[in-house]
Amino acid sequence: MKNSLIYLLSILIAVVPKLSAQCIGNSGIDDDNDGYCSDTDCDDSAYTIHPFSLELCNGIDDDCDTLIDEAGNSIHFDGSNDGISFGNIFPFHIPGDVTIEFWIRFTPTAHRSVFWTRPDNFDQNRFNFYVNSNGTFGFDYREPNATLHTIISNVPIPSNTWTHIAIVRNGNSSYALYLNGDLEATGNDPSPHLPTVTGWKIADREGFRYYGYLDEIRIWNVARTEAQISTSMSTVIDPSLDSSLIAYYPLDQGIGDGDNSGLDTVIDYSFNEDQGTMNNFALNGTTSNWVSTTPLACIATTTSDPGVDFNNRLFIYPNPAHDVIHVQWESKEKMQLQIADIFGRVVYKESLRDLNGSYSKEINIGSITSGLYSITLYNESNIMAKQIVVVE
């Protein structure tokens, strides 16, 4: 989700907007009925254009931050003591087809682990996906008894350049590595004996911590094809449309290069919701933080029926709200529901499927601090977004 809110923040600093019965702002005029008055809405003739809107690839400043089709965020790792930990089993430990995709950008300095698939630093019963001092990438695993299986190694990766890597396992023995959508290397594991441990880490193997950037981490329980990889690698995807996507970390949270104190949970947007915990990040500035550099741009999506006002199908009450809100909408399509504050920090999310035409949801907001929030429902075809004010 796009989190650039420079335009809105400049307005808030200059004039604190008030909530009228019609819209958020001071003018009291809301011609497009999107919940924003004309003094806070950069285009009061289009309901899909307003602060908090998703930035689509359409040549328009959808989110009113003065930028057009701008990018999201990524995470920078300082290689010193920060990393991300997860409590679930790493999918490559589970026998069968599996694919992991991610964007990487790094400066070669030493052998460093990108993904270390056990919760501690013991060198057994794990996978290790790593980069080397000579600018190469590889991965191997050790059995529970520490026997080493080298799968693919010494694949050159451009330095200081965003590169898309996809690793596909077909069955338990056949591996393929793709760079920027093209097959680069293959490996075979004739006598597989996969790891079994639960818990894994990103960039947090002691003594070998990764130094660089990561973005758009996706894990699937299928062996994706070259065509599938190359088609989707450069676009943001909708996790509700593919049940084979078992982990999805867009890494677009926070304010790029800004103060993200307390924003230390990495959200998994798949149905599994295997969140990650950020450890020892500075969470402020251009390193060890959510940062603005990214290989991806805006959200590549379109409205399937541009003649329909989908926001008129979304109802939220009460507004302002305290303790609970009720969200109702009409749709037969799978949707993502998300609540975010003015800094883009996600405070609630849910994946919704098997809708029968209408949906009603009561959401407990008692733990949410007072302020202005956006509620967005979206998939690859439609977007519905409205704003609420939470009061104590």
**101-151 tens-digit pLDDT:** 999 999 999 999 999 999 999 999 999 999 999 999 999 999 999 999 999
* Segments forming the whole domain that contains residue 177: 74-291
- Output the pLDDT for position 13: 31
Task: Look up residue 391 and give its amino acid.
Answer: V
Residues 80 and 46 in one domain: no
Token look-up 């981490």 returns 217
Residues 287 and 315 in one domain: no
Element (H, E) at 383: strand 383-390
Residues 308 and 251 in one domain: no
- Percent helix, strand, coil in the chain (nearest 5)? 5, 40, 55
Q: In the chain, which stretches have pLDDT less than 50?
A: 1-21, 300-312
From residue 391, how far is each of 165, 239, 339, 347, 368 by CA, in Å?
Answer: 45, 32, 15, 15, 9
CATH number, domain of 59, equals 2.60.40.3080
Pick from 258, 274, 291: which residue ends a domain? Answer: 291
Residues 310 and 241 in one domain: no
Residues 87 and 215 in one domain: yes
pTM of the model: 0.66
CA angle 200, 244, 166 (to 5 degrees): 60
Residues 133 and 42 in one domain: no
Residues 104 and 236 in one domain: yes
CA 96 to chain centre: 25
Confirm whether 1 is domain-assigned.
no
Pick from 291, 325, 341: which residue ends a domain? Answer: 291
Q: Is the peptide bond preceding residue 318 cis, with omega within 30 degrees of 0?
A: yes
CB 115 within 8 A of CB 200: yes
Residues 66 and 78 in one domain: no
Q: How many residues does the chain have?
A: 392
Residues 166 and 60 in one domain: no
How many distinct structural domains can be found in the chain? 2
Residue-wise pLDDT for 90-112, tens only, equals: 999 999 999 999 999 999 999 99
Residues 104 and 49 in one domain: no
Pick from 255, 274, 291: which residue ends a domain? Answer: 291
